[in-house]
Amino acid sequence: MSVPITVVPVVLAGGSGTRLWPLSRALYPKQFLALRGPHTLFQQALLRILSLKDRGRALGAPLIVGNEEHRFMVLEQLREIGIADARLLLEPLGRNTAPALTLAALAALDDGGDPILVVSPADHIVTDLDRFVDALLVAVDAASKGSIVTLGVVPDRPETGFGYILSEGEGIARQVSAFVEKPDLATAQRYLAEGGYAWNSGIFVLKASTWMAALERFRPDIAATTRSAWASRGVDASFVRPDRAAFATIPSESIDYAVMEACPRNPKAGFSVKLVALDAGWSDLGAWDAVWQVCDHDAQGNASHGDAIIEDSRNTYIHATSRLVGAVGLDNVVVIETPDAVLVADRARSQDVRHVVAKLQRAARAEVDLHRRVHRPWGWYDSIDAGPRFQVKRIMVSPGASLSLQMHHHRAEHWVVVRGTAEVTCGDHKLLVTENQSTYIPLGEKHRLANPGKTPLEIIEVQSGSYLGEDDILRFEDNYGRSEGTSESLT
């Protein structure tokens, strides 16, 4: 009796971007946002693949490929959905999706056997899970026979923002004859009229050995340099870190350009690419208009998230994060509210948010990179007020966690505990500070804040001094591998 081939979920979570600003930021990209339902896009991507277990497929431990700077955010989101066995393959810098998939393939092969990798981006949405899993099962079966398989989204409009895949033949796993670049509108309309074309979802299913063989055939430079970085990796609990210097030598290339497009052009190479049609409410959520499209609408076409009241409006999307948002007399408008920024835009022009982001970047505004609430490996802080020579923060420290042992050159700090118990190191002294008690950290004093309890610790911190920037820190000890002298605002 043959042993079923194990399926390993691979989620590529290393992307960054601000197309959904102000909700997505450069250091808090859209894959970590919950835009439809209780789970973030990253969590949904992994849970969709794990649904194969309900259909009787044997699954291996998930492999997550992500940025070093997002590692604790990924770990926390995995914990929220009860995933404890995933490994995080941390890219020290971005090199696109082909090296990312290669890291996952090498990790899977090192574990023994030759599993089928189900590779998914972390920032897409699917509204019909059953149809998605149906397509995935067909793809897994085709991949078990040696094919490279991609899920091609059945197009419902002439879209110019996606790449297309042309397939031919009969059956539910059709032979791919070409990968096509993003077309202009006339070409997209022709593709839709002719049939046989699908949108490129970026979801691939293939054996680990098949990927490595195809990569070594078409891009041996990427294969060799990624192997070198992997061979010199470091391991820290669930974190796996390829060698940084070696990783920097890897050419930056996508899965499509490195391998997928080359296979149909080189049939004698022996790599068969198949397409399985995906008709499951897929969207890449590339702009706020796309978010509106996948939401539930009222009779006037409006959709909302959070505390919103919509009156006499049509086809409008309101996303309220921290306060009540009221809308009256709007037509085809998006309103996105966060504690530190609000976007109001014509829904048809939501792609143009990039122009706002570009202006923020030129002005070196913090709102392009971070939210007011900043997540850290130990918890989070929220900058709730600031003025000349003072700043007020609300800080949450997770149970058992601690900030680094540090010192500031230009500011003093006052801490008031509002929930839980704080263990405070101040100079040579260590003390416990409980609810409604406070303590003072003088300028230049070495100090540390820790939570020794089993419940979250919350404090109000009042900073005062001549300079209150996050880079005013000298770090002496840290539990999270951050370098001495770096800011708490960095992971």
- pTM metric for this prediction: 0.90
H or E stretch covering 289:
helix 288-294
The reply to whether 343 falls in a domain is yes
Question: What span, in angstroms and rounded, lies between the C-alpha atoms of 482 and 487?
Answer: 9
Q: Are 351 and 401 in a shared domain?
A: no
376, 75 Cβ separation under 8 angstroms: no
Q: Are 258 and 390 in a shared domain?
A: no
pLDDT of 188 reads: 94
Q: Are 340 and 389 in a shared domain?
A: no
The reply to whether 482 falls in a domain is no
pLDDT of 429 reads: 94
Question: What span, in angstroms and rounded, lies between the C-alpha atoms of 237 and 234?
Answer: 10
Question: What span, in angstroms and rounded, lies between the C-alpha atoms of 367 and 275?
Answer: 41
The reply to whether 80 falls in a domain is yes
Report the domain count for the chain. Answer: 3
**392-409 as b/e: b if 16+ CB within 10 A:** ebbbbbbeebbbbbbbbe
Question: What span, in angstroms and rounded, lies between the C-alpha atoms of 189 and 215?
Answer: 33
Amino acid at 117: L
The reply to whether 1 falls in a domain is no
Task: State the CATH number of the domain containing residue 111.
Answer: 3.90.550.10
The domain boundary, picked from 305, 337, 362, lies at 362
Question: What span, in angstroms and rounded, lies between the C-alpha atoms of 91 and 89?
Answer: 7
Q: Are 307 and 270 in a shared domain?
A: no
Q: Are 233 and 345 in a shared domain?
A: no
The reply to whether 487 falls in a domain is no
Handedness of CA 361, 364, 365, 370 (dihedral sign): positive
pLDDT of 489 reads: 40
Q: Are 344 and 391 in a shared domain?
A: no
52, 137 Cβ separation under 8 angstroms: yes
pLDDT means over runs of 10, the chain (491 residues): 75 90 93 92 97 93 94 92 96 95 97 94 96 97 95 93 91 92 93 93 97 97 98 92 97 95 90 95 94 95 97 98 97 97 96 96 93 89 94 96 95 97 96 97 96 97 94 88 50 36
Can you give the residue range of the structural domain that contains 300?
293-362
Task: State the CATH number of the domain containing residue 399.
Answer: 2.60.120.10
281, 154 Cβ separation under 8 angstroms: no
Q: Are 16 and 103 in a shared domain?
A: yes
The reply to whether 127 falls in a domain is yes
The reply to whether 488 falls in a domain is no
The domain boundary, picked from 244, 265, 283, lies at 283
pLDDT of 1 reads: 38
Q: Are 276 and 326 in a shared domain?
A: no
Rounded CA Rg of the chain = 25
Q: Are 62 and 100 in a shared domain?
A: yes
Question: What span, in angstroms and rounded, lies between the C-alpha atoms of 365 and 489?
Answer: 15
The domain boundary, picked from 247, 262, 283, lies at 283
Q: Are 276 and 304 in a shared domain?
A: no
Q: Are 277 and 298 in a shared domain?
A: no
The reply to whether 324 falls in a domain is yes
Q: Are 171 and 51 in a shared domain?
A: yes
